[in-house]
Amino acid sequence: MLTKVHTGLQSVPGVWWKPAHKAEKIWVSIAFAWCIVLFAMMPLWHWKGGQNPSGVRTRVDPKAYYARTVAFASRYKVGEDRGLPIVQPPAGADVYLVGLTFQWYPILKLEQGKEYMLHLSSLDVNHGFSLYPLNVNFAVVPSFDYALRVTPTAAGDFRIICNEFCGIGHHTMVGRVIVVDSTGRSVADNSTAIIGHGGAQ
Ligand code: CUA
């Protein structure tokens, strides 16, 4: 017995041309309404909930941004950790951090309770700025300088994890932010933690 073959010339079996069942209409409506709720939450979270902060975005040449970051690092350098400068800018300063395959440059040393203008950008490809163990995530995109007003609320030795797959060394792309309290001490100075190395310098 031959298997029945369907071609585009014959209508397919089924009832797809009949109007949708009432239950289907209800479920599609519920899904659509929920989409609208979630969509509305995006701006609402900005005003209430402390999420989706709006930063200052400007276009920037990646090489110029990198040069700016290197100049910033050499100006406020206070130490070194495995080849990377530890940089301590004064309160209120513009702070530059650059993501590059596969490193965060430089290491930042900030003071708890002081406000800074944190600039984020990339030299090469998209990276993800994820401040561990806090729930802070930002896209780091080449050609865009994304600046945020930040005030560290807790002293400690924090890690920046890259959360955007950026290549073969993505998993090694770990940076460091040290937040000291008013006495100049970070709560846990974990000097043996692994910091990513490599990439263009
Ligand atoms: Cu940078 Cu993943």
Residue 106, token pair as written in the block: 């430089």
Domain boundaries, the chain: 56-180
> Is residue 113 packed enough to be buried (19+ CB in 10 Å), middle (13-18) or exposed (0-12)?
middle
Residue 41, token pair as written in the block: 């939450």
Report the nearest atom of ligand 1 relative to the CA of 126.
Answer: 1
Cβ count near 114 (within 10 Å): 17
Q: Which residues have CB under 6 Å of ligand 1? A: 99, 102, 127, 162, 164-166, 170, 173
Whole-prediction pTM? 0.74
CATH superfamily entry for domain 56-180: Cupredoxins -  blue copper proteins (2.60.40.420)
Report the nearest atom of ligand 1 relative to the CA of 167.
Answer: 2
d(CA 175, CA 85): 11
What's the confidence (pLDDT) of residue 137?
Answer: 87
Residues 168, 174, 180: CA angle, nearest 5 degrees: 170
> What's the CA-to-centroid distance between 86 and ligand 1, angstroms?
21
Walk along the chain (201 residues) and give the pLDDT tens digit of each residue: 566 666 777 777 777 778 888 999 999 999 999 999 999 988 888 888 777 777 788 899 999 999 999 999 999 999 988 889 999 999 999 999 999 999 999 999 999 889 999 999 999 999 999 988 877 888 999 999 999 888 888 888 899 999 999 999 999 999 999 998 877 666 554 544 444 443 332
> What's the CA-to-centroid distance between 141 and ligand 1, angstroms?
11
Residue 64, SS3?
helix
